[in-house]
Structure 1
Amino acid sequence: MKKLLIAAFMLLGVGAIAFTLYNNKQELNEEANLAMKTSEYISVTTEKVAEKAVNRNFEANGIFEPNQELKLMSETSGSIVKILKKKGSYVKRGDVIVQVDDRLIRSEYTIAKLQRDQAEKDLKRFENLASTDAITKKQLEEIQNGFKIADAQFSALQKRLDDTQIKAPISGFINEDYYEMGTLVSPGMPIADIINTSPLKLTINVTENEISKVKVGDVIPVSVNAIRGEEFSGKVDFISNKADGSFKYEVILLMNSKNQDQIKPGMFGTAEFQFAQTGQVLKIDRKSVVGSLKNPGVYLIQNGQAVYRPITINPLDDGSVEVLDGLKAGDEVIASGLINVKEGTKVKVQ
């Protein structure tokens, strides 16, 4: 009997809960229907498409870099016995920076030179004998091969001897050195970092809309963040033919100002691209555009309803966009309230 009572109470409880949920759903549906009836349209504001002046000038930031930069490596082994240039020194291409102990190699070089000279004399003597058929062809070939071997050994030792004088491969300043008197070096060991700052270069990145305005050879005003009140300029030397991962193109300016010695590699600079023309273009606010910059569009109003229209645009720096296709002057587009607007939505201009 007790079990039957418990089951009956449980059934009554479940029924009460179901009835309550049903009533709540009915109330929500009635409220939604009432909202639909009382809000037959979306309030929006509009913006008129108009021709306005646009400034094509733009700026791009970058970092000054040396025109050439390399890490000089040793090609020989031995201890440094003479230092001719140190950190901060200016070197010309071919200048000796350090001298490595060459006594052993120089001895081997002297022996190889004597052997080569003797082999050359023997070759000339045997060639004279061969002209009178005094020796066989095989004997002449053996002497010729002996001379080639002696000459190759001499050339190899001459290269090894030259390598004991570690020279600058480019002109520039020694920005860092890795040696002291007596340092034991080996092939592949870094000796010095050399940078050539004549001229400096400024590397910047510009957008696809800006790159079309830049030409190789253009002279561009440049400002340096750390040097106030000074005017500099750079000449466009390189324009990348392919965009990077951020869809920007690399542009390199070679600095050509007389006072560029004040600029140091690593400083920040700003290239100021200035253009004479200020054209009239169709403009609307960026907030009036729906979708992405790749697939942009706008909503117009026709017979009280929102109508979607795809357009082609060019983003501008002032928060507006240039309309390249899809609209004409005088068209009105929805400017606000777009979050609730879709194709066919009834709208009312505030």
Structure 2
Amino acid sequence: MSTFFFACKEDKTKTAQLPAAPKGNAAIQAEGFIVKEKSLSENIEVPGSLLPFEETQIRPEISGRLVQLNIPEGNFVKKGYLLAKLFDGDLQAQLRKLQVQLEIATKTAERQKELLSINGISQQEYDLSELSINNLKADIELVRVSIVKTEIRAPYDGRIGLKAISLGAYITPTDIITSIVQVKELKLEFTIPEKYSDGMRKGQTVGFTVSGNSQKFSSTVLATETSIEATTRTLRVRAVVKGNNPSLVPGNFAKISLAMGKDENALIVPTQSIIPQARNKNAVVYSGGIAKFVPVVTGIRDSSYIQIVDGLKTGDTVIITGLLAIRPDSKVTLTKVQ
């Protein structure tokens, strides 16, 4: 008997804790919102990275021994600045040899030209002398190009990285001497979901912030990738950051703020008024004291409102509170209308 009494007492306690349901056909009290037009844009935040506008690994074009090394680590250099020099003594000797041969061949051709004028030699012999001169000139040009390749110069104005080689080392085209980056401008790279890809245009201004700095910076969209990434369903975007702000360092994490899909005359309702279903979305419309469930098609949204593309019209009143308790054709009393 004591066990039965305890169980009954426990059931009564649980029953007392349940919320009281509306009795009979009592109207449910709720708040409403009148559908209206308003300027609306969807603000999204995506991560990105700051990159140097240009970055190049400096390597030699030919193999050789380093005889000169002028790498000001961490400093800025001008385009054409001599960073390194390879041994070119053998090439210089070859150049002098060819220049002597050219001088002799030129004098020989001049003498043969005089002999040709008095028919002392054939035209063919003179033509062979001219051919020899032209071949020597080509060989000299080839050696000069090889000498130029022994000089390793900065390809553009930029900041030099750390030195990766020492004076006197024998290096090949696979060896990295140093690196150079162009930081007067920076690149900002990020990705956006594919549904926003149509809203990204070249020349568009993009705002962003970096970690540890509350200042807002701006960039200009330079280009977008030609296709959507199949695995992530995102579009890669590249923007240009003008100016050399010391707060912006290549490699910084950036938080990009984008205003997508702006509509000056969007039909809006509060986001909490939309009831998602398995296949569609519904809004509860207040009509003559009765709740009507209406399928709707939504568009862009911000933190408070969502655009209604189809299903409602300006002036309709939608219910925004008590939605869990409302059923189709329920009686509703509005306590407040926004």
TM-score, normalised to structure 2's length? 0.69
Match for residue 87 of structure 1?
73
Give identity over the alignment, percent: 17
Shift of 1:231: 4.1
Shift of 1:320: 6.5
> Judging changes above 3 Å, is the alpha-carbon distance between structure 1 residues 322 and 57 closer, same or farther for their aligned structure 2 residues?
closer
Match for residue 241 of structure 2?
255
Please state if 1:206 is matched with 2:203. no
Match for residue 275 of structure 2?
288
Please state if 1:189 is matched with 2:175. yes
> Judging changes above 3 Å, is the alpha-carbon distance between structure 1 residues 327 and 308 closer, same or farther for their aligned structure 2 residues?
closer
Q: In 1, Cα distance between the equivalents of 2:323 and 2:105?
A: 95
Q: In 2, Cα distance between the equivalents of 1:324 and 1:121?
A: 90
Q: In 1, Cα distance between the equivalents of 2:185 and 2:198?
A: 26
* Contact map agreement 2:38 2:266 (CA 8 A) in 1: yes
Query: What's the CA shift string for 1:198-219, capped at 9, x where partnerless?
Result: 1112122234554444443344
Please state if 1:180 is matched with 2:166. yes
Q: In 1, Cα distance between the equivalents of 2:107 and 2:246?
A: 58
> Judging changes above 3 Å, is the alpha-carbon distance between structure 1 residues 253 and 134 closer, same or farther for their aligned structure 2 residues?
same
More helix by share: 1
Match for residue 67 of structure 1?
53
Please state if 1:141 is matched with 2:143. no
Q: In 2, Cα distance between the equivalents of 1:125 and 1:49?
A: 106
Query: What's the CA shift string for 1:182-203, capped at 9, x where partnerless?
Result: 1111233222211111111212
* Contact map agreement 1:176 1:194 (CA 8 A) in 2: no
Letter in 2 for 1:289: P
> Judging changes above 3 Å, is the alpha-carbon distance between structure 1 residues 125 and 189 closer, same or farther for their aligned structure 2 residues?
farther
> Judging changes above 3 Å, is the alpha-carbon distance between structure 1 residues 289 and 121 closer, same or farther for their aligned structure 2 residues?
farther
* Contact map agreement 1:235 1:254 (CA 8 A) in 2: yes
Q: In 2, Cα distance between the equivalents of 1:247 and 1:128?
A: 79
Shift of 1:146: 1.8
Q: Which of 320-329 and 169-178 deviates more?
A: 320-329
Shift of 1:67: 0.6
Q: Match of 1:150, SS?
A: helix
Kindly tell me the number of residue pairs found equivalent between the two proteins.
Answer: 292
* Contact map agreement 1:96 1:168 (CA 8 A) in 2: yes
Shift of 1:102: 1.7
Shift of 1:113: 2.5
Q: In 2, Cα distance between the equivalents of 1:108 and 1:133?
A: 36
Letter in 1 for 2:275: S
Q: In 2, Cα distance between the equivalents of 1:314 and 1:325?
A: 9
Question: Any stretches of 5+ residues in structure 2 without a counterpart?
Answer: 1-29, 286-291, 332-338
Query: What's the CA shift string for 1:73-98, capped at 9, x where partnerless?
Result: 21122221211123213222211101
Q: In 1, Cα distance between the equivalents of 2:227 and 2:133?
A: 55
* Contact map agreement 1:205 1:248 (CA 8 A) in 2: yes
Higher RCO (C-alpha under 8 Å, 6+ residues apart): 2
Letter in 1 for 2:303: D
Please state if 1:104 is matched with 2:59. no
> Judging changes above 3 Å, is the alpha-carbon distance between structure 1 residues 205 and 126 closer, same or farther for their aligned structure 2 residues?
farther
Please state if 1:318 is matched with 2:279. no
Q: Over the residues paired in the alignment, what is the CA RMSD in angstroms?
A: 4.1
More strand by share: 2
